[in-house]
Amino acid sequence: MGREADDATKAAFGQRVRELRAKKGLSQEALALVCDLDRTYVGGVERGERNISLLNIRKIADALGVEVRELF
């Protein structure tokens, strides 16, 4: 995978997190609090700036009430 593909993957994942967060009516700050993550980290994930770990993916999925697979 090249850098462009990596960036596209992170951007698509972040967009999906944003869609699900908005659907739940949560702000970035509220989601971050539930996940025990920093709000700026959640914002970076949504903007596709972060190469998020599996553990943080699980935290976000749990906070959104979805299965991990629904984030992809």
Strands (E), the chain: none
The pTM is what? 0.92
Residue 57 burial by Cβ neighbours in a 10 Å radius (0-12, 13-18, 19+): middle
Number of C-alpha atoms within 13 angstroms, CB side, residue 44? 11
pLDDT (0 to 100) of residue 1: 67
The structure tokens listed for 65 are 């009430």
Evaluate whether 59 touches 71 at the Cβ level (below 8 Å): no
Average pLDDT, integer, range 6-17:
97
Tell me the per-residue pLDDT of 24-71, one tens digit each, with 9 for 90 and over.
999 999 999 999 999 999 999 999 999 999 999 999 999 999 999 999
